[in-house]
Structure 1
Amino acid sequence: MNDRQLLRYSRQIMLPAFGIEGQERLRRARVLVVGLGGLGSPVAMYLAAAGVGRLVLADFDAVDLSNLQRQILHTTERIGTPKAQSARTTLAALNPEVELVLVKRSLTIDTLPGLLTDVDLVVDCCDNFDTRFAVNAACVAACKPLVSGAAIRLEGQVATFSGQPGGPCYQCLFPRDGSADETCAAHGVLAPVPGIIGSIQATEAIKVLTGLGQPLFGRLLVLDAAVMQWRQIRLVADPACPVCALVTVTPERQAEPGQRE
């Protein structure tokens, strides 16, 4: 790293468990952010600010006036602009050293594998269960870590899935029957709540990529912002899960995040 980079990231580098090695791991890391709304805004901004080398930014939607109450990547003058393009403008100004790749289309179980080939980790910030299940299935198949978040009303939740066989996946936690499919458009959300959850998602992503601390593997963190209380729920793998139950370990599936040459 040059002197300017050392200064930019100095407050992270001085952390004893992080150091220059942690910063270099972030610089080599490639992260897919799915959704650039209320959750994706703080996720993308913090990962860019922290120095992740490449961010793949996926969102098919355009900026709407109703987004601006919570989606801090976007601004009033960008109403009607594709969110991915708006995000690039904000993030390039925040940290021009980060490589930004835009994906302006819906993600499906057919298109996701190609995107996951060249990333180390996925952060799911979308607002619909079809995409969440597709992202989860693709991460399990590719053995990629997944940081999942959700926020609605005054509630939020975060979980981190290792992508390794034997651990739980997103579908172990939520059945694919549509029973939990709620959206902010239908039920509302308090502006800072997605910011809280998204900030935790960004923290989890950095921890996984650098080996810092203990990620939320096998744990679900649940926020009730009305009384500002957190609960932690232990997650276990479902032996009957149609996504992860039959996955086995192979040598090529054990690449460590952020360890690209």
Structure 2
Amino acid sequence: MSLRAALIAVLALAPAAPAAAAEVSITVAPAAGVRLGSPTEVSGRVTDAGAPLAGRIVVLEVRRHPFDRAWGREAVTGTDDDGSFEFSPELDRNHRVRARLIGVSAEPDLLSAQRDAFVVPAFTLAFEQRGERQLRLRQTYTVPRDVKLSAPTRFYVGPCRRGTAGECTGTRARLRATAQTRRVRAGRYRAGATVLLPRSFRGRFRYVSCFVYSPGSGMGDPDQRCPRRLARLR
């Protein structure tokens, strides 16, 4: 056998290099979650060896807290020219989400990684000023009727230092009260506290609240924590 024939025989026996596999990326924003009633932005991109795959069908699949049921189909879309896709589901509880690229011809479906999509209670924070120094703070929560909230609500109050344009320039607020979050009726909770403002505030203040995950509620990031002493003001 000639050297050339031997080389051809070896090449024929060698396995063919596998075709580059498609990839499906997925991102959930904002990572900290959205308030109940607001859409969650789920986006991603489908590529093959770095090249975008346009016109492909992508299915958004979700699994609702407590994540013990089968995955369900939430929405369907197609990829754009750059291979990107977007979904904006309005979820009522924490979910796990993933994207399924529907296979064509003999190709199997392809799944993305799973991502957490957090949903926190809808809430309103209000105050009533009683005199120059006394402040009544109240936070009201709206949740699905079967959700139970148990975590306390923390209220932070800081001074309002006026800037050159008259705006408040304070950047931090101190923890002034921790209040029990009480059930008003199914789907509605409330927490309130009365705070005495320091004289140095001169009746001007800024305030913010914080609440963490209630075990078993399926609403919010279980790893979220509230500041122990000082909260940052935006």
TM-score of the superposed pair, with normalisation by structure 1:
0.20
Higher Cα radius of gyration: 2
* Structure with larger RCO (C-alpha < 8 A, sep 6+): 1
Structure with a larger share of its residues in helix: 1
TM-score of the superposed pair, with normalisation by structure 2:
0.22
